[in-house]
Every structure is written in C-alpha cells, then in structure tokens.
Amino acid sequence: MKQALVCGAGGFIGSHMVKRLRNEGCWVRGVDLKFPEFSETPADDFVTGDLRDPDLCRAVVDRRFDEVFQFAADMGGAGYIFTGEHDANVMQNSATINLNVVETCRRRNIKRIFYSSSACIYPAYNQQDADNPNCAEVSAYPAAPDSDYGWEKLFSERLYLAYNRNYGMECRIARFHNIFGPEGTWRGGREKAVSALCRKVAEAKPGGSIEIWGDGLQTRSFLYIDECIEGVLRLTRSPHSGPLNIGSEEMVTINRLAAMAMEIAGKKLDIHHIPGPLGVRGRNSDNRLIASTLGWKPSQPLRSGLEKTYAWIEAQVAKSKPKKTSVEKDLAATLLVNDVIQPCTISPKTGTATPSLPSMVSPISPPA
Ligand code: NAD
C-alpha cells in the first residue's frame, strides 16, 4: 500500500489532500499544529506538532514515504501577508519548516516531495496592468515579488530544486493561484478574498452593503479546491521537475467576484470601497506550460465552485450566530395582541406569531 505524509494536514488544502489520498487507498499520516477545524480528519495517523522543530520532523518522517506533500506555512490572505506586520514570522516560520522537511526527507532517502509555492513569487513589475498580467513560469526572474511571503516561497522553491540537483531528489513545485472552496478559513484575519467576500455577503441584510478593499478593479483568478488537488497529484506523479502554475485562467475583477456572490445569494447589496492591503493590480494563471507538460489544465468555471463555497460559508455564518437565550425566547414570544401583552408561539418558518392560549384572537404578523 502506498504511504503518504501530508504536512499542513490541518489546513485548508492539506485536509482536502488527506481525504483524496485516503479515497485512493493510501495510508496517510498528517502533521500540523492543529487538527482540521471543520471536519474530522480521515488520516490513518495524525500528529499535532511543530515542523519548525527538527526532532518532531524526524519523528514524523520515520519511514520512507512514497510521497510527501508539503503544505505547512505561516500564511493568510491579503490582510495577513500584505500589511507587513507578519513578515518576520512568515519568513522565519515557513523557511524553517521547509529547511527541516527537505533535509529530514533526504536523510530517509525519500525522493518525492510536493512543495506548494505561490503566484506571489511573480515580479510586481509584470502585474501592474489589471488586464494584461504576465505570470508565465519563465517570467519569475529577475525576481521582484511584492511581499516577503513571496520572497520566502521563491527561496524555498530554490531550496527544493537545489536538493533535486545535488542529492538526486525528485521534488515537485506548484505555484498556486488563489485556491478556494468549502472548509477554507472564512473569518479571523487569515481568510482570503473568496471566503471573505462570501462571508460579507452572507452576513449582510438584504439591501445592505459590503466593504471591498481598493476600487475593486484589481483582477485575479480563483481555482476550486478539487481541481487544485487533481493538479497537485498529476504534477507530483509526473516527470516534470520545474515549477508549474496551478490556477484558473478565468480572470475577474474583485467587483465582478462580489457581484457573482451576490447573484448566488440572491441579494442586492451596495459596495463601499475602502482603503486596505491590495497586492498587485492584476494576476492570472498562465496555463500554457501545465497544458503542454501534463496534458491537463483546470477547466471548471468560477461560478460552479463559488456556488458550492457560498453555500458552505452561508451555513457556517448561520451556525455561528449566537443562539437566543431562553429569556430572550420568552420575551420574543410575548406579543401585543389587541393592546394586551399575551404569550405567543412564533413559527420558525414563517415568523408568524400565534397566541399560546386557544381562546385568544387569530394569528398576527410580528412588527416589521
Ligand atoms: P492553511 O493556512 O489553511 O494551511 C497551512 C497549515 O500549515 C495550517 O493548518 C497551519 O496550522 C500549518 N502550519 C503552520 N505552521 C506550522 C508549523 N510550524 N508546523 C506544522 N504545521 C504548521 O493554508 P492553505 O490555504 O491550505 O495553503 C497550503 C499551502 O499552499 C501553503 O504553503 C500556502 O502558502 C500555499 N498556497 C496557498 C494558496 C491558497 O490560495 N490557499 C495560494 C498560494 C499558495
């Protein structure tokens, strides 16, 4: 039976990868600082621990795994990586994880490690035009990422490639472009654009408004999690050793993304544009290389992934609303009927109040 190690298995992409590998019949060990937040892990073995610690790394890499998937990183959305406040931690934590993982695997004679890099490595100077960004793999140098998160990713790409060259390893590298889907972080400061927008739309009252950082004309593409996982497995098991984009080529403005979320929700909301961390002006996946090397590229429309993701986030928002206390319920169930305060039962479906005592007047609607 194939054995796989998933680093970062408590996170968004790692937890989906564990599920997919288990479905394929692999024996899977997951490792992360935490268990997955939104569902029980199906991993055969799950270790909670810190991959910055070389002893922990040696303990989890206790055998010659057939495949190692390295997703662990100190990361978040624009509100986390573009403010500059977390740069030292991001660089220190993620670089240490990668240095430990690759060296520990080398000592166990493990050949195949998948490493999750990012579109954030691409030079800022090629992404100033919202309509024509250049994110072809060969355009990575001369390097000029717009964040230290991107610089760490570039360093780690080079680290894995150096291990390939000097130690005969077979590391594989993908540059992800905005992966989204159910069970991604949707609040707390590390959430990314799709989850944040879906949450804002789900929380807004009909006719209300949502906030968007910047003018909303910045462009991005977004890839649904299932196609990301498919691409990672195809790349990991291929002979291609250079970095490959894994992303969608369906580029949209952030305003358009918000409009799509509103259409799905059936809500018409105003958009308030406010200052905030933005990143580059335009970014899109260039899928020419992945198509020619793997004979495959992502093809699902953004809308279909967004529908599934919105439904999941809407349910999370509903679940997280504070439940009414019994006192509040009692108060809500006490209504004015014919100028007399009387106890009522409120239908959860229609919101209609019915007096609890049978002799009382006919049902009334609650005040608007
Ligand atoms: P995530 O934050 O959900 O998952 C990362 C996981 O790493 C978290 O569960 C975290 O607890 C774990 N981790 C952090 N420090 C650790 C440590 N010291 N020891 C053990 N575990 C640790 O992020 P994700 O969206 O699943 O991203 C996975 C990988 O893909 C990351 O490397 C990320 O940089 C990369 N990536 C993601 C996207 C995206 O859109 N989601 C885009 C580009 C690149």
- What pLDDT does residue 345 have? 42
The candidate with the shortest Cα–Cα distance to 3, out of 47, 62, 72, is 62
Q: Which of 7, 13, 51, 148 to mutate to test the pocket of ligand 1 (most atoms within 8 A of CB)?
A: 13
* Lookup result for tokens 């739309």: 201
Sorting pLDDT into bands at 50, 70 and 90, what band is 335? very low
* Lookup result for tokens 């369906």: 250
The Cα 244–Cα 296 span in angstroms is 12
Q: What is the mean pLDDT of residues 96-112?
A: 98
- Number of neighbours of residue 25 by Cβ within 10 angstroms: 8
**CA trace torsion 100, 103, 108, 111 (10° rounding):** 110
Give the three-state DSSP class for 30.
Answer: strand
Give every CB contact of residue 73 below 8 A, 6+ residues apart in sequence.
8, 90, 93, 94, 97, 116
Residue 324: φ, ψ to 5°:
-70, 140
Closest-lying ligand 1 atom to the alpha carbon of residue 149: 34
The kind and range of the H/E element at 224 are strand 223-224
Higher pLDDT, 252 or 329: 252
- CA-closest residue to ligand 1 atom 29: 71
Ligand 1 neighbour 14 (Cβ under 6 A): yes
- What pLDDT does residue 224 have? 98
The Cα 66–Cα 57 span in angstroms is 16
Q: What is the mean pLDDT of residues 100-118?
A: 98
Q: Which amino acid is at 129?
A: D
Higher pLDDT, 346 or 364: 346
The answer to whether the Cα torsion of 272, 279, 171, 294 is positive or negative is positive
Would you say the pTM of this structure is higher than 0.85?
A: yes
CA 183 to centroid of ligand 1, rounded, Å: 13
Per-residue pLDDT reduced to its tens digit, 183-196:
999 999 889 999 99
Q: What is the mean pLDDT of residues 234-249?
A: 98
Give every CB contact of residue 256 below 8 A, 6+ residues apart in sequence.
none
Q: What is the mean pLDDT of residues 103-122?
A: 98
The Cα 193–Cα 199 span in angstroms is 10
CA 14 to centroid of ligand 1, rounded, Å: 8
For residue 149, indicate whether it is catalytic.
yes
Q: Which amino acid is at 119?
A: A
Closest-lying ligand 1 atom to the alpha carbon of residue 184: 3
What domains sit in the chain, N to C, each tagged with a CATH number? 3-320 (3.40.50.720), 326-355 (no CATH)
Express as a percent the part of the chain with pLDDT over 70: 88
Q: Do the Cβ atoms of 68 and 110 come closer than 8 Å?
A: yes
Q: What is the mean pLDDT of residues 234-243?
A: 97
- What pLDDT does residue 96 have? 98
Task: Find the catalytic residue in 80, 149, 160, 163.
Answer: 149
Per-residue pLDDT reduced to its tens digit, 123-134:
999 999 999 999
Inform me whether the pLDDT recorded for 338 exceeds 80. no
Extract the tokens encoding 105: 């695997």
The Cα 158–Cα 24 span in angstroms is 31
Q: What is the mean pLDDT of residues 90-119?
A: 98
- What pLDDT does residue 91 have? 98
Q: What is the mean pLDDT of residues 62-89?
A: 94
